[in-house]
Chains A and B, each alone.
Chain A
Amino acid sequence: MIGMRSELLNFVKFVIKRGIALFITVVIATYITILIANMGGYVDEIIKSETLLRIAQSVRQNPAYKSLNQTMLQRIIQEQYENELKRLGLDKPFMYRSFLYLKDALTLELGRALYLTSDSGSKSVRLIILERLPATILLFTTIQLVLFFSSLFMGLYLSRHYGSKLDKAIIALSPLSSMPGWFYGIFLIIIFASILRLLPYGGLVDIPPPQDPLRYALSVLKHMILPSLSWFIAYFAVETYVRRTFFLMFSSEDYVELARAKGLPPRLIERRYILKPTLPPIITSLALTLISSWMGAIITERVFNWPGLGTLLYTAIASMDSPVVVGIVVLYAYLLAITVFVLDIVYAIIDPRIRIGGGYS
């Protein structure tokens, strides 16, 4: 009984320690992002000078102020400029504001964009991001899941038939991964869009978008073929190869040999003695690649003109819209940290060694 309680206590301690450590990680990462995204306050100067220019112009062009002399005009400009700065919150020093930004970012009060707007015309960063997120998740989650399951089953199959022709073919094809998915995308566009004219060059749906929901879905599906295929070509062989080698290593363990000697059916051996111990690291890699694929596909989105988060991030950076950039990065950091946290807890439950402190002390 006492053993159980102390174990539970240890577990709770581990979870709390891990949670705090990860939260601090997110805080620091967010702050670094805020500093970079604002160029240490330099973006403020750009915004200030743009604001001044805009106000000066509108005051000088306003017929109501025509009769006023230069000093009066100057005073009005200065007044409006200061009000505008107050409205934007730029009247306080950057260091002070950077911590306000940090607080807002961490509480996911993502604020308002400087220049970008959502399709519905809103300036809320949260809305802008939420509008783009589905497209990215749709494409890249699909790609990752298809890749994951196909390579898992192929790997299992090959570990059973290792040395076969198919096995050799997969090994020979695995260097395909030395080139990124988007690169194959360019060739696929040339072949299937440019020459054969079978599939679209890019984008999310046909223009104009079909009204009928079923047609709409089919059109989206058609647009997903080439980007998915490009990643599949790049990563299928190597992932299969890694899984297969992994399974092979485990299937030569003594306890598997013993199970075989006992005459257990191969399917059962596979499920109980090979898959079970290898699954946790495999699932970890799936979880992490899923999260990072929402972020790391900027180039693929650019090549295929896919209106997702990557494209948004690119336009946000190009127009120096720091709230949007910070918003996306914070969201990413949170998602990643939460995933790591959940995985940690799951492992701590499954594997007592971790709790006691081998890996993470």
Chain B
Amino acid sequence: MMQRIKGFLGEILTYKSALVGLIIIFSLVALSIYTIATIPYEKATKLWNAGETIWLENPRNAMPKWVNLFLSKKLPETIIINSEKDQRGVTKIVIPVTERISRIRIELSFKYEYDDFPSEINLFFNVRYNKTPPHIAIYWVKPNGEKFKLKELYVKRSGAYYISIDEELSKELHTYLSEKVGKEIEYAISPEIALFAVEDETIVHRDTVKPLKGRYKVIIDGILFGNNSNLDVKLVVYGKVYGIAGTDHLRRDLSIALLWGTPIALSFGVIASVVTALLQMVIAAISAWYGSVTDFFIQRLTEIFMVLPFLPILMMISYFYKINIWVLLLVVIALSIFGAGIKNYRAMFLQIKEFPYVEAARAYGASNLRIVFRYLIPKVLPTIIPSIVYSVPSFVFLEAALALLGLGDPLAPTWGKVLDDALENGALYKGYYYWVLEPSFLLVLTAFGFAMLGFALDKIFNPRLREM
């Protein structure tokens, strides 16, 4: 047995396409194992469906970090500075003025060395007080020493100050900068651009405005009331790149769905294709061997399933019953069992049925089931292995297709889901190509791997094709 497997492997590896296919499939399997080992499924689905709250520190629609390797203009990464943490660039001083009042000064400084503007700026407060909330003023200091007061406020509760969507601030900045440059700025300049821009003529046009590099500072100057008061701030300057896969419209890290999509896609595809093919073969063998009434019923059932349109029925079931991915797998298998394949296999078995070795088996008194499983099926099995391998991608794409229709498992993070989100949120119009291309690349890789392997197996098991 070992010898045979070794010989078979040796033969397979003489085909370059098989080698390429196997390498791709093994790397996908390795990626799946890594994913399952590092991120538990429960955690992944929880993260994926948690909503924006836990992803608040991620930029929206950011490209993967590695795109910077290919760009002449360096896109910014996200910068987070938290006064609670003992971190470079943080100074926090609290000086008691009287018994009840103390002065607080927090300085957050960071270096900005990128060629593009950040996508957003937020300031998060963590506050504690008895009766009167702290009163603070927030200042923004550019590398050239230019100081600008952003806002003055009572910090009544822990929460966020969304600098980028502060309309008042953006109007104020517009007039201030226009006056300073001596020319009217021609567009609605948003705070994250205004606060980072070089303040000369270039700022007037949307196309020429460019960021000033250097060390920026955010200074919070305020008063705490009561002994027990405290205030901490966290500055998040959202970048335009994130992680190895980037983020989507809900700030989610795409790598979670891409990673978990791998084992889901592989197992879905492989299980569906193997189980369908094997069951079809068993049913076809039984149909051909037993004949008469059994055959009649199986053939009529097959015809009923052939008249039923596969995808619409599948769509109805998965929409109405909101099933998860593994139930979906069962439904897919159930609907595909009585497919056209049965007719082909049955035709093969009808021929094999008349072979002398089958007749010999019958002569020595082998039971019907024994003949079906030990004599008929093993004869046909090798010839269908290539088609099993070939049909794996079609089931992987089926799952993606269902996700694209907004059906399929509502919770599972899959490649199809990412693709659906991307198309649904206009990734193609807005130019977020990474969002579409990443899941697509993995789908292509899967399809390619199995197609290559199937191609080689076809040549081995159906030698007649070798000459053609």
Contact = CB atoms under 8 A, between A and B. Distances in A.
Interface in A239-262: 245, 248-249
A11 B312 CA distance: 36
19 contacts: A21-B303, A26-B307, A29-B304, A29-B308, A32-B304, A36-B320, A39-B320, A178-B393, A179-B444, A189-B428, A190-B433, A295-B309, A298-B315, A299-B405, A317-B316, A320-B320, A325-B316, A332-B312, A337-B307
Given A25-B307, A175-B455, 15 more contacts: A22-B303, A25-B303, A26-B307, A36-B317, A162-B468, A178-B450, A178-B451, A180-B397, A182-B404, A201-B429, A245-B468, A296-B309, A298-B311, A299-B405, A317-B315
B316 A37 contact: yes
Nearest to A28: B304
B315 A313 contact: yes
Interface string B370-398: 00000000000000000000100110010
Interface of A: 21-22, 24-26, 28-29, 32-33, 36-37, 39, 42, 162, 175, 178-180, 182-183, 186-187, 189-190, 193-194, 201, 245, 248-249, 292, 295-296, 298-299, 302-303, 313-314, 317-318, 320, 325, 328-329, 332-333, 336-337
A317 B406 CA distance: 11
Given A25-B303, A187-B440, A245-B468, A182 B401 contact: yes
A332 B393 contact: no
B319 interface: yes
Contacts of A39: 320-321
Max chain B CB contacts within 10 Å: which of A24, A180, A333?
A: A180
Interface of B: 300, 303-304, 306-313, 315-317, 319-321, 390, 393-394, 397, 400-401, 404-406, 419, 423, 428-429, 431, 433, 436, 440, 443-444, 447-448, 450-452, 455, 465, 468
Nearest to B397: A180
Max chain A CB contacts within 10 Å: which of B303, B394, B444?
A: B303
A336 B307 contact: yes
Nearest to A177: B451
Contacts of A42: 320
A332 B306 CA distance: 11
Contact of A183 (B304, B316, B443): B443
A179 B468 contact: no
A60 B468 CA distance: 78
A25 B304 contact: yes
Contacts of B465: 245
Nearest to B303: A25
A92 B78 CA distance: 63
A127 to B, nearest CB: 20
A175 B451 contact: yes
Query: Mostly helix, strand, loop or mixed at chain A's interface?
Result: helix
B406 A318 contact: yes
A264 B393 CA distance: 45
Contacts of B436: 186, 190
A194 B390 contact: no
Query: Mostly helix, strand, loop or mixed at chain B's interface?
Result: helix
A36 B314 CA distance: 10
A329 B308 contact: yes
Contacts of A28: 304
B395 to A, nearest CB: 11
Contacts of A180: 394, 397, 401
A330 to B, nearest CB: 10
A183 B307 CA distance: 26
A286 to B, nearest CB: 15
B312 A328 contact: yes
Q: Which 5 A-B pairs have the closest CB atoms?
A: A175-B451, A178-B451, A178-B447, A333-B307, A29-B307
Contact of B404 (A190, A292, A303): A303
A296 B308 CA distance: 11
B455 A329 contact: no
B403 to A, nearest CB: 10
Max chain A CB contacts within 10 Å: which of B307, B429, B436?
A: B307
B21 to A, nearest CB: 10
Contacts of A329: 308-309, 312-313
Contacts of B455: 175
Contacts of A162: 468
Contacts of B447: 178-179
Contacts of B313: 33, 36, 329
A318 B312 CA distance: 12
Contact of A248 (B319, B397, B468): B468
A292 B317 CA distance: 20
Contacts of A29: 304, 307-308
Contacts of B300: 21, 24-25
A65 to B, nearest CB: 37
Contacts of A320: 320
Given A179-B397, A186-B436, A296 B311 contact: yes
Contacts of A292: 309
Contacts of B308: 29, 32-33, 329, 333
B448 A325 contact: no
Nearest to A244: B468
B306 A302 contact: no
A179 B309 contact: no
B315 A36 contact: no
Max chain A CB contacts within 10 Å: which of B308, B393, B429?
A: B308
